[in-house]
Amino acid sequence: MDAVVLVGGFGTRLRPLTEQIPKPMLPVGHVPMIERLIRRLGRGGVTDVVLALGFKPEPFHEAFPADRCGDVRVTYAVEPEPLDTAGAIRFAADTAGIDSTFVVANGDVMTDLDVGALVEAHRVAGAEATIHLIGVEDPSAFGVVELVDGSESGGGRAGRIERFVEKPAPGTEPSNLINAGTYVFEPAVLERIPAGRRVSIERDTFPELVEAGSMFGLATVDYWIDAGVPDLYRAANLDLLSGDRVHDSCEAISPDASVDPGATLMNTIVGAGAVIESGTTVVDTVVLPGGFIGARAQVESSLVMGRVEADATVIEAIIGAEGVVAEGDHVAFDTVPAQQ
Ligand code: GTP
């Protein structure tokens, strides 16, 4: 089965980390986010993935030198200009010649969803489109659905979607079930998307499918996180240390990192090539490959790709690859270098 994976966004919310590395290539537990996603799609029966890109594919070629990720074949569709989510799906599907039931996934979703179960629910319903749904406490920042005729299917509750509202005003949400960013489509969906221009799957295509009565959802209680914002990107990493994920886990410290025995690390991931000097305390933090934390520095709840010099204090901050927190400085609730 084919899958289109959307990876062409700008990743603005993860700046400055995304200034050097495209968001899907950022590591989650030492492995690029995109690689964990493709492996999961492979476990669910996907054999061919087309990456829908809006920019240069080089970092992806480097990650998948033989155009394979495990058993999954990887190809690329590079848009001449960003076509938005539906436009990108249409362009990628046309490029790859997709002409049967296929999967679509947002590149920054980390979940334990069994894609095979979503495909099965889609087939049972005879749907044109079936989307994965997750219940959340505050659905107002997401696409929210009203599900009818809910019945048990493949480890979740499946039903027809009667309403799809993208980012409803708080208090007006039809339910707490949100679009979780993994879809199964019939090729007929592609015919609803005009070629060669910007079209949004959430704002344009889903309302049309709801109107046609051919859009279904499968609500599950799987682990799910949209890793496209700093706190959730950090959580997606640290959750791999807890042992709660079904297929994914990681070591806290990469064998290629240098951590002084006099450093205290708690609930922290240290990537390849990172250096942590003696007397430091690092808590609830992801130190990305190449990150540096100097002697006696205190770092808490942060993402560090650049340098935190000796005796500095860093709390709830993002330090980009070019970022330097000077010796003895304090940085809290901020990004370094500062963002516009
Ligand atoms: P922000 O800039 O931080 O909002 O991130 P983003 O650009 O990735 O946006 P968002 O998370 O809303 O996008 C959802 C998914 O669609 C992500 O996987 C994006 O990579 C992808 N995406 C968004 N717009 C485009 C586009 O024009 N082309 C392609 N190929 N993918 C897109």
Q: Whose CA is nearest to atom 23 of ligand 1?
A: 9
Do 317 and 335 form a contact (C-beta atoms < 8 A)? yes
**CATH number of 293's domain:** 2.160.10.10
Mutation choice for ligand 1 from 6, 95, 182, 200, CB with most ligand atoms inside 8 A: 6
Q: Which helix (H) or strand (E) holds 237?
A: helix 230-238
Give per-residue pLDDT as tens, 284-339: 999 999 999 999 999 999 999 999 999 999 999 999 999 999 999 999 998 988 87
Beta-strand pair 335-336/318-319:
parallel
On whether residue 322 sits in a domain, the answer given is yes
On whether residue 252 sits in a domain, the answer given is no
Q: List the domain range (segments joined by +) for residue 267.
A: 258-336
Q: Are residues 307 and 268 in the same domain?
A: yes
**CB 12 less than 6 A from any atom of ligand 1:** yes
Whether the predicted pLDDT of 340 surpasses 70: no
Q: Which helix (H) or strand (E) holds 299?
A: strand 298-300
* Model pLDDT, residue 155: 74
**CB 54 less than 6 A from any atom of ligand 1:** yes
Residue 80 Cα to ligand 1 middle (Å)? 15
Give per-residue pLDDT as tens, 120-154: 999 999 999 999 999 999 898 899 999 987 777 66
**CATH number of 182's domain:** 3.90.550.10
Number of domains the chain is built from:
2
Q: Are residues 20 and 96 in the same domain?
A: yes
Residue 54 Cα to ligand 1 middle (Å)? 9
Q: Are residues 144 and 69 in the same domain?
A: yes
Give per-residue pLDDT as tens, 63-119: 888 899 999 999 999 999 999 999 999 999 999 999 999 999 999 999 999 999 999
On whether residue 118 sits in a domain, the answer given is yes
Q: Are residues 18 and 53 in the same domain?
A: yes
